[in-house]
């Protein structure tokens, strides 16, 4: 609609027709702006409400066929209610005296009467009264609070019940610290509360940091006080549109939204919308130097920009939707969530931005570029400027003209040396550790649940909190117990009885049998949320399956193991699919086979170099404990899908210039005229992804580093040196097999 109203500017020139046309154009522009303001009004509220429809339970992400999922379903038959433990660990500066232990016991007895914000008491949420257990060394007391899992996960206003409970417990426990005691609320409930608290910065600080960084970069790029606000406004309205759709889909259960997906959505929309805006504004400014009519300039800019921007958005969307092949719902849901964000960014950049740029009409529209207002070099209205010579283009392009001349002088030397350096960095990829990390390593700042877990490990068997569970046939019970007890790292194993176990020396309680099956709890020396316990699960499964083929091993540590193994499987399935899909998009865009293959090889090499440098930085510079198994997958999808954008922006312009001037001159012209805007776009996207590091989570910090570094490598090395040098060296052969009418 916008493009059609701007077309055929000079087809009719009568004053009355011109007035009608101008009025209609103004109405369309106003209509587009009003529609987007309506979307912004509704979507702005949705942005702040996304946290209400988040799902951050790792168990809910696992596929139904995962062993821990099937084990969990059977294990629930042995208990009337599923629980979410909150653990209060109380420690002194030495052995506790009877008075201190009694005070903790009295505190535990008062807990059921603890009032919550919504008027309920803690007693309404627990499945059994809190129990205080002194440690064997006499230096700590553990109070176990077994929350009903279903009730704890209910949404109460803007918070989940578990967050409210943990906050109230921590406030109440502060009273114990007056008598030389120190208390922490930890366990699964404490970890969830701290994780939600870490993600709470998404709605505020993350978005503010991202917008602030982008604004500074835009001011430096445009040197205009008003144009950066116009581009940022486009990004914000695009984000509002995306949030509006995602909120309703997540609320209806169509897709799963978690904290990391929400953070990535914010960053992706702001970065992509800004990139698309930069490309359109650059072409619009270029056309304003050629014609007097701002509407003609915008029409030409849209026609020249829509193909590369659409190809870029389509490539990213196609790559992201490949995540639907993941067996983890946290991964598969990220695909459509992020794809919705890219669609919103694309539509906003090609509808709202042109409307905002044209809102001032013929007289004032150019002033948005003030003080560097672009004007045509001559007084001939609505005509193309003269075809500049290569020397004029490179001279006008400044540093990028000099870069293009330098590459043209020694193209083979440039691309070979660049590829060699990238290969050296990629050689460190095998050292990248992505086997998974402990829950305590997830947080980059000190949090109470981690400190409490450390105190728990000092005085109690941490593995008792969430033991490994084994569901087996009744006849295999003895063999399963013997096999589990023979695994290194296992402290104890026992079948769940029909009644609570009595004091030592009493008759053993017979196991509870449900449909011919028994439930065995295996206690590990390591805490269930540690990577060590995850490795023990692997060994327990091997040992148990050797004696009972149909036994199922589950529990929290098993869920972590299944998540890691599923992530590894996803990598082998999704990576080749993404490469194949993006290759097909590039073939259709560039009307060539060889050029898209070269671009894909270049971007895979760029990803390898990024991961290699990441391994060096994570392992040796910051001595990180490793990475989540999903980090390489997310980094690959974002870097290949987003990184190829800059090669698309370059190569579409190179092809356009090659059709008129030949391949080698087309490379020089294309690099010279797009160098500034593509570099700006890359820096913007790298900066927005870097903003993810403000959230104190290891996964997001690592992803932010890898994507930001990879985008900069794609922008400053691959697109600037490797691709231009390679295409210049090959000449017309780059367009094989359909580039016969393009000369060298």
**Token output for 413:** 């030397």
Q: What is the pLDDT of residue 201?
A: 60
Lowest pLDDT segment from 115-119, 189-193, 298-302: 115-119
CA dist 332 → 69, 257, 261, 436 (Å)? 17, 10, 11, 19
Name the strands in the sheet holding 552-554, side by side, starting at the edge strand that comes first in the sequence.
Answer: 490-495, 517-524, 468-473, 552-554
Which one, of 340, 531, 545, lies nearest residue 439 by Cα?
A: 531
Average pLDDT over residues 704-720: 92
Average pLDDT over residues 232-240: 94
Instruction: Say whether pLDDT at 318 is over 80.
Output: yes
What does the chain come to in residues?
A: 744
Q: What distance in Å separates the CA atoms of residue 211 and residue 206, rounded to the nearest whole number?
A: 9
Instruction: Say whether pLDDT at 47 is over 50.
Output: yes
State which of 150-154, 696-700, 714-718 shows the largest mean pLDDT.
714-718
| Residue 9's pLDDT band (cuts 50, 70, 90) | very low
Residues 494-550 have pLDDT tens digits of 998 765 544 444 556 788 889 999 999 999 988 887 888 899 999 999 999 999 999
CA dist 238 → 68, 350, 395, 639 (Å)? 40, 11, 37, 22
| Residue 158's pLDDT band (cuts 50, 70, 90) | low
Residues 350-381 have pLDDT tens digits of 999 999 999 877 777 788 888 888 888 654 44
Average pLDDT over residues 591-597: 89
Q: What is the pLDDT of residue 507?
A: 57
Can you give the three-state secondary structure of 627-660, one letter per residue?
A: CCCCHHHHHHHHHHHHHHHHHHHHHHHHHHHHHH
Name the strands in the sheet holding 131-134, side by side, starting at the edge strand that comes first in the sequence.
Answer: 131-134, 140-148, 83-91, 182-186
Partnered with residue 659 across adjacent β-strands are none
Residues 380-411 have pLDDT tens digits of 444 444 467 777 777 777 788 899 899 999 99
Where do the domains of the chain lie, and which CATH numbers do they carry? 1-53+224-386 (1.20.1640), 78-195 (3.30.70), 394-441+565-744 (1.20.1640.10), 467-554 (3.30.70.260)
- Percent of the chain residues topping a pLDDT of 70: 91
Burial of 572 (0-12, 13-18, 19+ CB in 10 A): exposed
Q: What is the pLDDT of residue 639?
A: 87
CA dist 222 → 215, 281, 436, 485 (Å)? 10, 10, 43, 68
Residues 685-705 have pLDDT tens digits of 898 888 888 888 898 899 999
The answer to whether 671 and 726 are in contact (CB under 8 A) is no
**Token output for 257:** 């939204």
């Amino acid at each position: 609609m916008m493009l059609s109203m701007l077309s055929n500017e000079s087809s009719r020139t009568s004053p009355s027709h011109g007035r009608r046309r101008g009025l209609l154009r103004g109405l369309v522009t106003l209509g587009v702006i009003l529609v987007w303001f309506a979307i912004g009004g509704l979507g702005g509220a949705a942005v702040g409400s996304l946290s209400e429809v988040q799902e951050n339970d790792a168990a809910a992400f696992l596929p139904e066929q995962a062993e821990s999922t099937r084990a969990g379903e059977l294990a629930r038959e042995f208990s009337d209610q599923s629980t979410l433990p909150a653990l209060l660990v109380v420690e002194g500066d030495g052995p506790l005296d009877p008075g201190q232990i009694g005070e903790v016991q009295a505190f535990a007895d008062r807990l059921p009467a603890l009032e919550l914000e919504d008027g309920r008491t803690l007693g309404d949420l627990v499945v059994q009264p809190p129990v205080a257990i002194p440690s064997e060394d006499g230096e700590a007391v553990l109070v176990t609070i077994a929350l009903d899992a279903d009730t704890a996960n209910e949404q109460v206003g803007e918070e989940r019940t578990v967050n409210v409970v943990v906050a109230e417990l921590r406030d109440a426990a502060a009273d114990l610290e007056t008598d030389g005691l120190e208390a922490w609320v930890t366990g699964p409930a404490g970890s969830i509360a701290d994780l939600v608290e870490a993600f709470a910065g998404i709605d505020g600080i993350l978005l503010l940091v991202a917008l602030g960084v982008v604004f500074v970069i835009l001011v430096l790029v445009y040197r205009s006080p008003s144009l950066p606000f116009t581009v940022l406004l486009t990004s914000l309205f695009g984000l509002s549109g995306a949030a509006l759709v995602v909120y309703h889909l997540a609320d209806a259960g169509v897709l799963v939204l978690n904290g990391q997906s929400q953070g990535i959505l914010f960053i992706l929309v702001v970065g992509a919308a800004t990139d698309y805006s930069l490309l359109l504004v650059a072409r619009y400014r270029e056309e304003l130097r050629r014609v007097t009519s701002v509407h003609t300039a915008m029409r030409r800019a849209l026609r020249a920009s829509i193909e590369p921007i659409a190809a870029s958005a389509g490539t990213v969307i196609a790559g992201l939707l490949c995540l639907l092949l993941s067996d983890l719902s946290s991964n598969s849901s990220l695909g459509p969530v992020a794809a919705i964000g890219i669609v919103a960014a694309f539509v906003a950049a090609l509808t709202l931005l042109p409307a905002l740029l044209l809102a001032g009409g013929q007289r004032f529209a150019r002033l948005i570029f003030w003080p560097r207002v672009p004007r045509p070099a001559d007084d001939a209205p609505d005509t193309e400027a003269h075809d500049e010579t290569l020397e004029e283009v490179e001279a006008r392009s400044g540093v990028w003209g000099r870069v293009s001349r330098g590459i043209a002088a020694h193209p083979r030397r440039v691309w070979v040396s660049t590829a060699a350096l990238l290969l050296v960095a990629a050689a460190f990829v095998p050292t990248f550790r992505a086997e998974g990390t402990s829950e305590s390593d997830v947080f980059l700042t000190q949090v109470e649940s981690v400190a409490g877990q450390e105190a728990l490990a000092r005085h109690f068997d941490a593995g008792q909190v969430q033991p490994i569970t084994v569901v087996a046939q009744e006849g295999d019970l003895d063999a399963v117990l013997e096999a589990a007890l023979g695994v290194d790292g296992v402290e104890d194993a026992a079948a769940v009885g029909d009644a609570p176990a009595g004091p030592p020396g009493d008759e053993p309680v017979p196991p509870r049998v449900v449909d011919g099956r028994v439930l065995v709890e295996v206690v590990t020396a390591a805490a269930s949320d540690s990577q060590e316990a995850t490795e023990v699960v692997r060994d327990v499964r091997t040992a148990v399956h050797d004696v009972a083929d149909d036994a199922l091993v589950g529990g929290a540590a098993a869920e972590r193991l299944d998540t890691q193994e599923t992530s590894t499987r996803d990598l082998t399935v999704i990576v080749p699919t993404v490469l194949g899909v993006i290759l097909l998009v590039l073939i259709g865009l560039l009307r060539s086979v060889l050029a898209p293959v070269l671009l894909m090889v270049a971007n895979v090499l760029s990803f390898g170099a990024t991961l290699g440098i990441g391994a060096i930085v994570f392992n040796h510079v910051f001595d990180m404990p490793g990475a989540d198994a999903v980090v390489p997958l997310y980094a690959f999808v974002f870097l290949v899908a987003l990184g190829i954008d800059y090669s698309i922006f370059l190569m579409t312009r190179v092809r356009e210039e090659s059709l008129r001037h030949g391949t080698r001159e087309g490379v020089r012209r294309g690099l010279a005229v797009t160098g500034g805007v593509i570099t700006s776009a890359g820096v913007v996207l790298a900066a927005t992804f870097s903003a993810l590091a403000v959230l104190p989570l290891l996964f997001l910090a690592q992803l932010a580093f890898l994507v930001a570094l990879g985008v900069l490598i794609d922008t400053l090395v691959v697109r600037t040196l490797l691709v231009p040098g390679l295409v210049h060296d090959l000449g017309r052969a780059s367009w094989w097999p359909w580039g016969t009418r393009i000369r060298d």
